[in-house]
Copies of this chain bind each other. A is one copy, B any other.
Amino acid sequence: MPLPRPLKTLIAVGALSLLAAGHALAEVADVAPELRGTGDLGVVIERATGSVALVDTTARQVLRHVEGFGDLSHASVKFTRDARHAFVFGRDGGLTKLDLLTGEIAGRIIQGGNSIGGAISQDGRFVAVGNYEPGGVKVFDTETLELIIDVPATYEKPDGSMGQAKVVGVVDAPGNVFVFSLFEAGEIWTLDMSQDEPELTPYRNVGSMPYDALITPNGRYYIAGLFGEDGMVLLDLWHPESGVQRILPDYGQGEERLPVYKMPHLEGWAMAGNLAFFPAVGRSEVLVADTTDWSLVGRIPVQGQPIFVMSRPDERQVWVTFAHPDNGRVQVIDTQRLEVIQTLAPGESILHKEFTPRGEHIWISARDSNQVVVYDTRTFEELARLPAESPSGIFFTHRAHQIGR
């Protein structure tokens, strides 16, 4: 299909917004941007104030706060391939490009009504945004923020009329492909951006209401969770001709329809060797699957309903956060013993966590404590407690170099 004319809604917001992050850092406000490597930088979402904290994982400090991102509840972040810029996907449909070196907003558009995340293509040229309202995916040039292609999530309803679906689980895959799921439609689509004419491939009737998805670290398997029924669906991107398969048929709320405090996130499925660790729905368990046949091989009791289940980069530990009312604690699972070996209480309303690239530390956001807490993952010693306004998502720049992150 021919490329549509770029939208002319690019709003350059060049304001340098600095909040002093403690007196020791106040003096940076008036100096020129520092020449520095960007490999140890990161972004912490401050949802209450629509701001982000720029952080340095070597110094374990907040470098500055930057405002002007709009509604950041449930916001996520992707990094450009040079690790200089962060794209922040806001709940208000805002797509904001942040310069990590200057702290300036290098570009901001309101691209939709309600976006829930996105991805950057393997070659770094394109940023895709998935939208709730109106449904669909828009792809922009990462340099200019020009619209490259608008893909409405149009689907045929059972009564034959056409609808617009919410788009969830947008990820990048090798070959410059984006993959995403259509909630109301029960479909998975791939968008191949490797040619001048993008190619769209829909997989129909995959299951009822896919609500979130993940891609494995090698970019091969795209797995979506279903809200409308038990089980999950898997698309093997090395064998798209095989279509979408069902896996883990008992995964979900089950016949008892347990009270679910919050649907778990799938982003953080932990892979360790042949095992995948993932949150049970509505149960105080972390589930373990064998990735060679995607069968369920274990259930690990934990202290609440798990939300994020993430593996340390060396795969020896899996760290778990929980839904309310058990969200004041974090638990650590040993991937060989398959049991909890540590429980930590970093603060109130633990929302997210991020490992340093080689896994020596973990940063944990305690929203209602207004703090980000840094631990040594070997000794469990608390190393730092940094101030942040209602911190939620934490994202470090090494994600720029990883498939699907």
Contacts and interface: CB of A to CB of B under 8 A. Distances in A.
Contacts of A358: 81, 122, 174, 401-403
A50 interface: no
A127 interface: no
B314 A102 contact: no
Interface stretch (A37-45, A153-161, A178-186): A37-45
B82 A39 contact: yes
Interface in A379-405: 397-398, 400-403
Interface in A198-241: 218-220, 238
Contacts of A40: 81-83, 124
A292 to B, nearest CB: 8
A348 B164 CA distance: 56
A33 interface: yes
A37 B336 contact: no
A274 interface: yes
A265 interface: no
Contacts of A315: 218, 220
Contacts of A403: 313-314, 358-359
A401 B402 CA distance: 10
Interface in A99-140: 100-102, 122-124
Given A314-B174, A398-B398, A403-B313, A122 B38 contact: no
A80 B57 CA distance: 13
Interface in A153-196: 174-176, 194
A316 B101 CA distance: 35
A36 B33 CA distance: 11
| Interface footprint category on A | 35 or more
A357 B35 contact: no
Given A58-B124, A175-B378, A315-B218, A85 B37 contact: yes
Nearest to A85: B37
Given A58-B81, A174-B358, A174-B359, A400 B314 contact: no
A250 interface: no
A84 B402 contact: no
B123 A80 contact: no
B82 A123 contact: no
Interface of A: 33, 35-40, 57-58, 79-85, 100-102, 122-124, 174-176, 194, 218-220, 238, 273-274, 292, 313-316, 336, 357-360, 378, 397-398, 400-403
13 contacts: A36-B84, A37-B101, A38-B82, A39-B79, A39-B82, A40-B82, A40-B124, A175-B378, A218-B316, A220-B315, A314-B403, A357-B402, A358-B401
